[in-house]
């Protein structure tokens, strides 16, 4: 199972992977503590690998997203949903 998790985890970019079939022993998130304990016993897994698998990458990405949000807010950059097309535009998004 740990080899399977290693292979699948290489596809995890931002903390999520959808299994098309659930591996035995990973029926739901209540099994994560056992999974992480098993991986800690496997010498091919480092503590950093396990932290990434457990969501550290996701937290890192969200921290960067919040940093950019704050920088854009200070620079008065409007979110795309608040920007209107020019008056002479053929864009009809949101038109009734």
**Whole-angstrom distance, CA of residue 85 vs CA of residue 1:** 53
Q: Using an 8 Å Cβ cutoff, are 66 and 23 in contact? A: no
Q: Using an 8 Å Cβ cutoff, are 54 and 16 in contact? A: no
> Model confidence over 43-93: pLDDT tens digits?
888 888 888 888 877 788 888 989 999 999 999 988 777 777 777 777 665
pTM of the full structure: 0.45
C-alpha radius of gyration, the chain, whole number: 21
**Whole-angstrom distance, CA of residue 67 vs CA of residue 69:** 5
């Amino acid at each position: 199972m740990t080899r399977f998790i290693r292979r699948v985890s290489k596809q995890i970019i931002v903390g999520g992977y959808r299994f098309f079939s659930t591996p035995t022993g990973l029926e739901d998130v209540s099994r994560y503590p056992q999974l992480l304990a098993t991986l800690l016993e496997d010498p091919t897994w480092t503590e950093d690998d396990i932290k990434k698998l457990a969501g550290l990458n996701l937290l890192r990405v969200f921290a960067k997203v919040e940093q950019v949000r704050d920088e854009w807010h200070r620079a008065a950059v409007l979110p795309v949903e608040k920007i209107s097309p020019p008056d002479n535009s053929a864009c009809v998004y949101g038109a009734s």
